[in-house]
Amino acid sequence: MCLMRLKNKNILIILSLGIVLIVSMFFAFNNKKEYKELPKVKLKEPLQNKQFALMLEQEDGNYLESEGELPTDGYHFNKEKSGCVDINGKIINDALDYDYYNHVVLLDTSKTSYCYLYYDIETITDYLRSKDIGNYLSSNLVGGIYRYQGLGTDPINNYICLGDNCCNTTECSADTNDDMYRIIGVTENDELKVIKKTGLDSSYQWHTDNTTDTKWPDSDLFHQLNDYNEGSTYKDTSFYSQLTENLKSYIISDYNWLYGDAVERGDFNGDTIYKIESGNGEATRYVNQNGKSVTEKYTWSDKIAAPIGIQYLHDYYYAYPGGNPTTADNAKTAWIHLSNNEFKHPASSHSIGAEWTMTRYSGTGVSNAYVHDIYLNGTVGDPPPNYDFEIRPVFYLSNEIELSGKGALSDPFTIF
């Protein structure tokens, strides 16, 4: 009798374990995500008994239920808004994914019954990222800009042709062509910050007078780059004035360039110099106090509205992978360094080849002024402003432009 009870008990235990195992396997298989590619799903066309609604953003920001195939050009999949529900209308989390490079929606078909696919009008940032196979365009705002960060040896697709007709690619077919620029980055408002690939044909002095403490808007270089009124005479020989009207229509002519008093020499890194040059950090400068040079703290706050500038010192540091090298010797390997583009004037009457920045240096002298430069060997220096160095104009392009091309040197971006 006891033996029979023991056998029955063992049988019940085995049956219970079997039921638990079967139930566990059922849930395991039903929870498995079975992603399917949906390259050409049409509105409300069944796919394995599933239904879809295609929601396209309109110019006014609203979404309209639309017919047709899933868009591959001109739109950007909005993963946050898109989603699926089950047969009872319950939201299914993580049912959708998206392959941004191949424009393919990935759907977990194990539970979904109806899906809403939202597409936003494609932005410039979206377009650049879709061409940036190497992921050199940062995904976070580095110094207020989504920046291209990589080495000079990396295949960074940030070349943009800005020729006479603003988009004839034959004008930029040669590596040394003067119409070739490179994109430093894109702002959160989709404005492109670009820098000329090569230096200008002539070397320039930052300012001819090296005995006065001259700020950027009063410098000779600022006036050589931008149109300006000088008394009753209008200067029309500046770099900006020589550009075609077509290109000038895309350049933000009144961009507010932040500038400040000089910065004391220091062991900069990307974050340190950016905080100074954006007015978010204190700088140290030398000032004349009763004929003696003393230091004081201050922040940048002055702005000048103009179309053309040159690179800040932080642009140089932030182009390096990670954006915050501890030495200029590391930064020189970044794509933006002139040695990785084209150095036209490797030597001057004063020193080895160098490129000016907008960032002045507050020297220890009571009367002399100095400016930070970047030498061909990558070192950041601070010579007097009357040295002859390279310059590469920098400007911002409006977010109203549309681009084509792949950004490679052989197939640069163009405006159409």
Helices (H), 149-237: 220-225
Instruction: Give me the residues of the chain with pLDDT under 50, please.
Output: 1-35, 38-44, 232-234, 348-350, 366
pLDDT at 176 (0 to 100) = 57
The domain ranges of the chain are 35-122, 193-397
pLDDT at 17 (0 to 100) = 39
pLDDT at 198 (0 to 100) = 87
In angstroms, how far is CA 360 from the centroid of its own chain?
Answer: 25
pLDDT at 344 (0 to 100) = 66
pLDDT at 39 (0 to 100) = 40
Burial of 341 (0-12, 13-18, 19+ CB in 10 A): buried
User: What is the tens place of the pLDDT at every residue in 228-253?
Assistant: 655 544 467 789 988 888 889 999 99
Q: Please, are residues 109 and 284 in contact by the beta-carbon 8 Å criterion?
A: no
Are β-strands 394-397 and 380-381 bridged in parallel, bridged antiparallel, or unpaired? unpaired
Give the Cα separation of 218 and 221 in Å (integer): 9
Give the Cα separation of 233 and 184 in Å (integer): 34
Give the Cα separation of 49 and 42 in Å (integer): 14
Give the Cα separation of 367 and 212 in Å (integer): 6
Give the Cα separation of 99 and 386 in Å (integer): 53
The DSSP symbol for 228 reads -
Give the Cα separation of 278 and 21 in Å (integer): 62
Provide the strand spans (E) within 202-278. 229-230, 233-234, 256-259
CA distances from 288 to 218, 253, 259, 414 (A): 20, 36, 20, 50
